A = this chain, B = another copy of it.
Amino acid sequence: MSEQTTVPVKLGDRSYDILIGAGLIERAGQEIAGRTGAGRVAIVTDENVAALHLQRLADSLKAGGIESTPVLVAPGEKSKGFATLETVTNAILAARLERGDIVIAFGGGVIGDLAGFAASIARRGMGFVQIPTSLLAQVDSSVGGKTGINTAHGKNLVGAFYQPQLVLADTDVLDTLSPREFRAGYAEVAKYGLIDRPDFFAWLETNWQGIFTGGPERTRAIAVSCQSKADVVARDERETGDRALLNLGHTFGHALETATHYDSARLVHGEGVAIGMVLAHQFSVRMNLASADDAARVEAHLRQVGLPVSIGDIPGALPPAEALMEYIAQDKKVTRGALTFILTRGIGRSFIARDVPPSAVLSFLQEKHPK
């Protein structure tokens, strides 16, 4: 039999399990019926995932006695907006689902965020199950209950904290993901090692190939990642403190995403995070917090798996360091002249630094990104 791992997310009466393993789509009907008792579901998915995997999921649900209505949206970040939210929410209502019925998010992080938000507002809260299909969604966005959409004022500025009742991470479904999207998700896997699991990072350095090829290492890496995120979320569900550690690499990363106008041909989120994590380690070296050896190890590993690791790795022209600094300041809001940053004392020793002088960040960026 295929290996399957369960990661429990402990959030009081909102607790739930993440099941991780091969062939879970085929067992989805049985797991959902057994654990939720639902008789009807809406499957929110995007056209890419639908073409590759929807039929198998619908068949599995049917075999479990569950009637399903598919709700398709266009792939890509543009679907995470008010217009699609309205369409999806109306489609859920049109399917005549009741409060106890279930909305399934079947796709990457875009679908998880969008469908989860729709599930939270339709009838003031329907049942919700995540079946994440991208590596990023399996190790990051499907865990923790943040759902939402983007607006003209910024990404993820509108949404709800809404926990699913169950997460099914089918490790086989990742085989159809493009290598580039897989690598982007891998950046978030490595992040958990860099935050506070040095042994996991060391294990990744040795075992990363099994993750990419779909060996048992894949299940293990996803399970450790989910456990890491679940631990942080259990400590700080609504992001008032510790949860900020999950932003390691994201401050620089977001600035680079802004600088490339979220053009996925040039940079996808996980790539920005990879570069951002390398920069965060290098900046920590500059601040005399971490050793240059540790920063070099991070850079070497991420480069080895095929991720970009420096600003120069991004194709096309970029605005100057001063502009990147501007994006960072907008993103983080400078509080009384100081920035809050995730810095590190070495691999697996990240911390929240609340007093980073913007001038130090700027001169670091000027050096890393000379005009």
Contact of A121 among B86, B93, B159, B238 (CB under 8 A): B159
Interface residues of A in 106-145 (CB under 8 A from B): 117, 120-125
A151 at the interface (CB under 8 A from B): yes
A300 at the interface (CB under 8 A from B): no
A89 at the interface (CB under 8 A from B): yes
Contact of A82 among B82, B120, B122, B125 (CB under 8 A): B82
A15 at the interface (CB under 8 A from B): no
A360 at the interface (CB under 8 A from B): no
Taking the closest CB of chain B, its distance from the CB of A92, in whole angstroms, is: 9
A90 at the interface (CB under 8 A from B): yes
A121-B158, A160-B160, A161-B124 known; A153 and B82 CB under 8 Å? Answer: no
Total copies of this chain within the assembly: 2
B159 x A93 contact (CB < 8 A): no
Taking the closest CB of chain B, its distance from the CB of A340, in whole angstroms, is: 14
Interface size, chain A (Cβ < 8 Å): 26
B124 x A159 contact (CB < 8 A): yes
B157 x A93 contact (CB < 8 A): yes
Residues on B with C-beta less than 8 A from A121 are 117, 121, 148, 158-160
Contact of A160 among B93, B124, B148 (CB under 8 A): B124
B151 x A93 contact (CB < 8 A): yes
Ordered by A's residue number, 25 sampled pairs between the chains whose C-beta atoms are within 8 Å are A82-B82, A82-B85, A82-B86, A89-B151, A89-B158, A90-B151, A90-B153, A93-B151, A93-B153, A93-B154, A94-B153, A117-B121, A120-B160, A121-B121, A121-B158, A121-B159, A121-B160, A122-B157, A124-B148, A124-B159, A124-B161, A125-B160, A125-B161, A125-B238, A160-B160
9 shortest A-B CB distances, which residue pairs? A93-B153, A82-B86, A124-B159, A121-B158, A93-B157, A89-B158, A124-B161, A90-B151, A124-B160
